[in-house]
Amino acid sequence: MDEPDMFVLYIHADPGPRRVIQARFRRMLDGRRPANFDIAFEWPRGDEGVSRLEGWIAQKRASHKNARLVIVIDTVEHVLEKPKGNAYEQAVAAYSPWARLAHGQVGVSLVLVTHTTKASWDDVFDSIQGSTGAQGVVDTIAVFQRQAGKDGLAELCLRGRELAETRVNFRFGSEEGRWLKEDMGDTPMQPSVQRQMAVDAIRHFGQFARRPSAQEIHARMQEHAGYKGTASTVRTLLRRVVDDPNSGVCWERGSGYYMAGSPTPPIDNVDSEDREIRSASTLSTLSAEQQLET
């Protein structure tokens, strides 16, 4: 907070007691409020909220041309519009204006805070409240959770478009009144069992130059991996797999089929001789990948 060209705006959009938040910040900041730290307790929703945020950014840039700006909205549900459509479409439409704001500004980091569910999940990122549509819009996802059975310890799980899945360890500093990063080194996260099932199923079909549908992937997971989830759950799982840049899986828009690697024209649309060449090439590539993995 002592860096002259960095400014932080914390928007406490959750309609809770202000005095609790104010007391928490006083403790964290040793009773002093830095000049480059702003806090707001009310903020409009949707486009109006984005417009006001653009005004705050312009104000800071007017006095500090190269300012680095960090904006935290806690919790984001209180500034999102509620558009029409199914849950996935609603989430994409609600988060997109805020994502465009961050993408259109250099040196601006926008942190949108939400909650996790209390249910137990194989994949920690599945615990995030709401539709997976939101996760497809943002660049980086972070889940902060206490470590079970370890008092005062927690971990931050990270996943992003340009970030390998990573786990960072924290401990709570009683004197400081905040969580402190442990000097234990960051550790890569292993893919969840369920997501690995889905990727393995897609690769299986890829060996035969086939592009499976969600239904075929679900059937394969049930038959060969003992998967107990529903077809609807698999579709949600596949969205997460496709959104993960490290999964090596893509989805062909329009056809609805999945494949490992980059999209290419369907094999059924080429002549028989070219089909044989393409099939051999696909098998060779997958075989090489499998050899590397083993």
Do residues 116 and 162 share a domain? no
Share of the chain above pLDDT 90, in %: 38
CA–CA separation, 43 and 9 (whole Å): 12
Q: What would the pLDDT profile of 133-185 be if each residue is shown by its tens digit?
A: 898 889 899 999 998 888 899 999 998 877 778 889 999 998 887 899 987 66
Distance CA 129, CA 121 (A): 12
Residue 108 covered by a domain: yes
Amino acid making up residue 293:
E
User: For the segment 54-105, what is each residue's pLDDT rounded down to a tens digit?
Assistant: 999 999 999 998 899 999 999 999 999 988 888 888 999 999 999 999 988 8
Position 292 scores a pLDDT of 34
What token pair was written down for 259?
A: 């494949």
Q: How many domains does the chain have?
A: 3
Exposed / middle / buried, residue 56 (Cβ in 10 Å: 0-12, 13-18, 19+): middle
State pTM to two decimals. Answer: 0.67
Cα separation of 108 and 86, whole Å? 31
Task: Assess whether 269 and 283 both reside in one domain.
Answer: yes
Residue 207: the pLDDT is: 87
pLDDT at 109: 94
In single-letter form, the type of residue at position 137 comes to V
Question: Is 19 in the same domain as 78?
Answer: yes
Confidence of residue 266 (pLDDT cuts 50, 70, 90): very low
217 within some domain = yes
Dist CA 278 CA 285 (whole Å):
11
pLDDT band of residue 277 (cuts 50, 70, 90) is very low
Is the model's pLDDT at 50 over the cut of 90? yes
**What rounded mean pLDDT belongs to the chain?**
81
Least trusted range by pLDDT, from 157-166, 181-190, 195-204: 181-190
Structure tokens at 95: 């988060």
Poorest-confidence range of 51-55, 253-257, 281-285? 281-285
What is the C-alpha to C-alpha distance for residues 220 and 241, in angstroms, rounded to an integer?
Answer: 16
Place of tokens 């060449």: 277
The Cα 134–Cα 243 span in angstroms is: 11
Mean pLDDT computed over 248-265: 74
Do 209 and 282 share a structural domain?
yes
Same domain, 93 and 199: no
CATH number at residue 267: 1.10.10
Tokens of 73: 């909205």
Query: Is 1 within a domain?
Result: no
Say whether pLDDT at 28 is over 80: no
Q: Sorting pLDDT into bands at 50, 70 and 90, what band is 281?
A: very low
Per-residue pLDDT for 290 more than 80? no
What is the CB neighbour count within 10 angstroms for residue 29? 14
Whether residues 104 and 222 share a domain: the answer is no
Q: Do 108 and 231 reside in the same domain of the chain?
A: no
pLDDT at 264: 44
Q: Do 172 and 269 share a structural domain?
A: no
SS (H, E, C) the chain: CCCCCEEEEEEECCCCCHHHHHHHHHHHCCCCCCCCEEEECCCCCHHHHHHHHHHHHHHHHHHCCCCEEEEEEECHHHCCCCCCCCHHHHHHHHHHHHHHHHHCCCCEEEEEECCECCCCCCCHHHHECCCCHHHHHCCEEEEEEECCCCCCEEEEEEEECCEEEEEEEEEEECCCCEEEECCCCCEECCCCHHHHHHHHHHHHHHCCCCCCCHHHHHHHHHHHHCCCCCHHHHHHHHHHHHHCCCCCEEECCCCCCEEECCCCCCHHHCCHHHHHHHHHHHHHHHHHHHHHHC
Sign of CA dihedral 127, 129, 132, 138: negative
Residue 191 is predicted with a pLDDT of 65
In a domain, 71, yes or no: yes
Same structural domain for residues 178 and 153?
yes
Q: Are residues 128 and 21 in the same domain?
A: yes
Residues of the domain holding 99 = 6-137
What's the confidence (pLDDT) of residue 282?
31
Whether residues 131 and 11 fall in one domain: yes
| Cα–Cα distance measured from residue 211 to residue 67, given in angstroms and rounded to the nearest whole number | 48
Residue 149 lies in a domain: yes
Q: Is the same domain home to 80 and 131? A: yes
